[in-house]
Amino acid sequence: MSQKADVWQGTLSLMVLKTLELLGRLHGYGIARRIEQTSGDLLELNYGTLYPALVKLEQEGFIVAEWGVSENGRRAKYYELTRSGKKQVERAERDWKQTTAILERFLVPAKVRS
């Protein structure tokens, strides 16, 4: 059985924002489950990490939260992107692509790049 990886530092916010961008309004458990599914269940999302990240994104104005009722009839906090959050997705995506392109230069031998 393969071991699930932890979410990398600095990527959780982008994954949350991107999930909300693609799927719209979701509760925390739905966000967590979708991130794990999207990873092909290779990532293990620590729920103790998710909720502080959601609070931080809300404080930064990238998401808004509202209480509602989940599919199973329980009270749940639902999150959705703000206009500022949509712009942040674009910035974060651009930054991530640049970062991975830089890292790729270290992983591919210089002879191959030439």
Where do the domains of the chain lie?
5-113
Helix (H) or strand (E) holding 27: strand 26-27
At the top level of CATH, which class does the domain 5-113 belong to?
mainly alpha
The pLDDT profile of the chain, 114 residues, written as one tens digit per residue, is 457 766 776 789 999 999 999 999 999 999 999 999 999 989 888 778 899 999 999 999 999 999 999 889 999 999 999 999 999 999 999 999 999 999 999 998 766 655
The rounded distance, in Å, linking the Cα atoms of 100 and 96 is 6
Global confidence as pTM: 0.85
